[in-house]
Amino acid sequence: MGSLNTTNFITRLSALCLRKTKMQHRHQSNRRPTVPLGSRILTDPSKVFEHNMWDHMQWSQEEEENAKKKATENSLVKVQSEDQDKYEREASKYWNEFYKTHKNNFFKDRNWLFLEFPEILPEKRREEFKTEKISLEHTKINNDNSFTLKNGMFEEGEKYWEKNYGSGSTAVQGYVYNKNQVKALTANPQGKKCGEELGQGESFPGCDATYRILEVGCGAGNSVFPILKVLCNTPGTFLYCCDFASGAVELVKSHSSYNSAWCSAFVHDVCDDALPYPFPDEILDVILLVFVLSTIHPDRMQGVVNRLAKLLKPGGMLLFRDYGRYDTAQLRFKEGHCLSENFYVRGDGTRVYFFTKDEVWNMFTLAGLTEVQNLVDRRLQVNRKKKVKMQRVWIQSKFQKPLQSLHNPEESTKRHPCK
């Protein structure tokens, strides 16, 4: 009996040591974190500078109170009303100047998108993507390799088309055509009535696609090109992307990896309800809204969300990520930069708002969308060289347009023949 107890004790002790060893290895692992929101947990404070980022950080009551105090202090002095009007009126000018200065060198490519937002891809491609176990290293796009090669990013896609559709076929506006059809389409770059060449009614870019994505606030393309890297292997998909800074859209369209076969970039101010989109309502499967809504005046946010919700198909998904309340970026503002509560202007004239999870929920549910995910992402970001710690806070959410039956499907098809 004593021998059996000793054996059980040794077994339990070995298991405990094994778990501890795995946890220690976890701190030093360079493998891709799991979702949602990563799995690199700081359990040993002495190892804090072994990685650039730690996930799922819990704030103490003292840390929460200190953050509130800092936000209160830097909000005491507000920007004068005439200057606030200028920042609102000339918002696009400030962002154009931003992209003129930084071009596509300021933000990193968002290769994490498919980890946190697999809904970007059609369901079948999503499963293939998962099965293939494409690592971050495989999907990583950088200016030193594939971007410097002419159409290098689409090399895999071209092999795919040749293998599956023949060398005489290609994809335009999310659909596969032969050479004669492509010539007719590309001769009309505006895409107007391009479908007539194919025996269809009046058309629009991406008309014949079966899965459509819109990125709002595309900037210099830090989401666009990682998405296109995958979409070029996915027949029937099409990506729209827009920004109200014309300079940003030009950066996207002039990029060597931009390809109108899978993407249409256009200038658009989402705050202007009267401004039409280059496609009908209720055709989008996914809307990507990443670090965009925070740049808009709080009084106009609900109108923007309401309009975007109309673009989604029933069952379509809106994917959201943005700054959270008391993020380090908010606490670093000095007095005189606060426009209104939790809304600030940077030194370059661009603006930023810091959300709570409840605010995000209220906006999207008022627009008729239902919650799929709504999380506060608290992380500890460190500068290992300078030994500096920064508490980062983001909100990450997924909201879906409810499924609904069409009372008159024929009428819907008549309105949008390519839908």
Greater model confidence, 238 or 112: 238
Polymer length of the chain? 419
CA distance linking residue 255 with residue 221, whole number of Å = 9
The pLDDT value recorded for residue 184 is: 40
The pLDDT value recorded for residue 214 is: 97
Cα radius of gyration (the chain) = 24
Count CB neighbours of 246 within 10 A.
14
Residue 299 and residue 88 in contact, taking contact as beta carbons nearer than 8 Å: no
Residue 211 and residue 205 in contact, taking contact as beta carbons nearer than 8 Å: no
pLDDT 10s digits, 271-304:
998 899 999 999 999 999 999 999 999 999 999 9
Residue 297 and residue 324 in contact, taking contact as beta carbons nearer than 8 Å: no
| Assigned token pair, 320 | 């959201």
Strands (E), 261-342: 263-267, 284-290, 312-323, 338-340
- Give the burial string for 81-104 (b: 16+ CB within 10 Å, else e): eeebebbeeebbebbbbbbeeeeb
The pLDDT value recorded for residue 220 is: 80
Count CB neighbours of 381 within 10 A.
15
Output the CA–CA distances (angstroms, integers) from residue 11 to 3, 20, 22, in the order listed.
12, 14, 17
Q: Is the pLDDT of residue 183 over 50?
A: no
270 secondary structure, DSSP code? T
Give the three-class secondary structure for 272.
coil
Give the three-class secondary structure for 275.
coil
The pLDDT value recorded for residue 104 is: 57
The pLDDT value recorded for residue 349 is: 92
pLDDT 10s digits, 22-69:
433 333 333 444 557 677 877 777 777 778 778 777 888 999 999 999
The pLDDT value recorded for residue 132 is: 63
Strands 312-323 and 284-290, sheet pairing? parallel
Give the three-class secondary structure for 14.
helix
pLDDT 10s digits, 295-351:
999 999 999 999 999 999 999 999 999 999 999 999 999 999 999 999 999 998 999
Average model confidence (pLDDT) for the chain?
A: 76
Residue 313 and residue 284 in contact, taking contact as beta carbons nearer than 8 Å: yes
User: How is 330-383 classified by DSSP, letter by letter?
Assistant: HHTPPTT-EEETTEEE-TTS-EEE-B-HHHHHHHHHHTT-EEEEEEEEEEEEEE
- The helix or strand, by DSSP H or E, that contains position 393, with its residue range, turns out to be strand 388-400
Strands 169-172 and 175-178, sheet pairing? antiparallel
Give the three-class secondary structure for 253.
helix
Q: Is the pLDDT of residue 14 over 80?
A: no
